[in-house]
Structure 1
């Protein structure tokens, strides 16, 4: 379900659209304006590096292409160029692989003040088994939240790729105790905050699993995999482990 833009975000977006037009006319590069969550102060392109590149990568990693589980390493290489191009194309922007004011404006429009994407929130992915919070996992709370943010932005890309159809998170972070309580190993991907389970009232589980192959997920488990006939598990582990036999995956 979409939510209205905040007054600040609406002003930021309008300013950036105006700025983009000015840049096109003058050929100059201008810094991005302030956003409630994070602001980019320079145009980024192939060969650049730094924390601002890593922040961009978190938000565009779901657009890097089929089977590409892009690293968040702060280096603007070929995969990042491809991911930015994919993001730009998906949202009707000029597709040049360069992150400038128009690209930032769309990101600012999509993200909330806590940096989560428009259609997902920390409230949906915090501790399971009724516990809430982010403690008791296989890594510290800050790392759990960072991993969840990466997963949510890739889920946002998946949602858009599926025609902006709603996706519902049925499970996110689990403490080790909770993971064992629901039949897990106690040290699975959910305990790191890297995994979320998804369902939808609008598209099939196989459609979700199929689309997830293009959205930067290293782990995909769905119908036909034991215990996954009623949801699709996606995670941002390194490498690639996919299994949804009933969907041909």
Structure 2
């Protein structure tokens, strides 16, 4: 909460300074950000690393059953995801990533590029180095970041009530200690287990279908009556029979 208040205060100071100097952002520019700053307006047909960074932030808005490719190519699927992101936050839904879209993203992301309501520490209770899993530490951490942005979209869609993460990245040692599957997606850093709290496990499982998760396991699936599991496996597998999935 404290870091959000500080961030809001700083944003207000920056806005006031911009107003005094006449440098308030126009359609193609936006305030600088300590995580990542976009330098151009992006729309369909564009490509590059800046498109990839945008895709990571809007990957939680692919539409029911879809997964947005993080490929640096601004195609129709990315345009549709941008529009859904814009609608979700009351912006003009034109599918063009300009100052209104960037400034909303800047307001949502922290200096370490995690989204506002999730921390890397929540996605890694195993070790601080992100090492010992099925992929490099850097890849595991990046996968967790992408998972958090999808969870941020899901959280917003559920009325901004907290979502409780109970497990994320695991090294082989951590995974063995909890009796995890030898092929668990937790070893890749792209899985999250969610506990009940503000929402039931079934509500979480059902909502996840709209936010780019290929793997959804919940109540009714063996060993998942006490949590909802989400991941980014290569093909879709949804199973939560108690929830009608």
- Taking structure 2 as the reference length, the TM-score comes to 0.92
> 1-side partners of 2:19 and 2:83: how far apart?
18
Is 1:209 equivalent to 2:205 in the alignment?
Answer: yes
Q: Deviations over 1:151-202 (max 9, x none)?
A: 0000000001111111011001000121122112333100100001112421
> 2-side partners of 1:151 and 1:13: how far apart?
30
Question: What residue is the counterpart of 2:28 in the other structure?
Answer: 30
The within-5 A match list for 1:120-135 is 120-128=118-126, 131-135=127-131
- Contact persistence 2:82–2:96 (CA under 8 A): yes
> 2-side partners of 1:151 and 1:15: how far apart?
35
Select which of 57, 65, 74 maps to 1:76: 74
2:193 counterpart SS class: strand
Question: What residue is the counterpart of 1:155 in the other structure?
Answer: 151
1:83 counterpart SS class: helix
Question: What residue is the counterpart of 1:42 in the other structure?
Answer: 40
Is 1:4 equivalent to 2:5 in the alignment?
Answer: yes
Question: What residue is the counterpart of 1:219 in the other structure?
Answer: 215
Question: What residue is the counterpart of 1:26 in the other structure?
Answer: none
Question: What residue is the counterpart of 1:61 in the other structure?
Answer: 59
1:14–1:227 CA distance, 2 compared to 1 (3 A): farther
- Contact persistence 2:168–2:189 (CA under 8 A): yes
Higher mean displacement: 98-107 or 230-239: 230-239
Question: What residue is the counterpart of 2:177 in the other structure?
Answer: 181
> 2-side partners of 1:207 and 1:16: how far apart?
42
1:52 counterpart SS class: helix
1:10–1:36 CA distance, 2 compared to 1 (3 A): farther
> 2-side partners of 1:22 and 1:56: how far apart?
18
**CA offset at residue 9 of structure 1?**
4.0
**CA offset at residue 10 of structure 1?**
4.1
> 1-side partners of 2:19 and 2:238: how far apart?
40
Total equivalences in the alignment: 242
CA RMSD of superposed structures (Å): 2.2
2:121 counterpart SS class: helix
In structure 1, the gaps of 5 or more residues are: 24-28
Question: What residue is the counterpart of 1:86 in the other structure?
Answer: 84
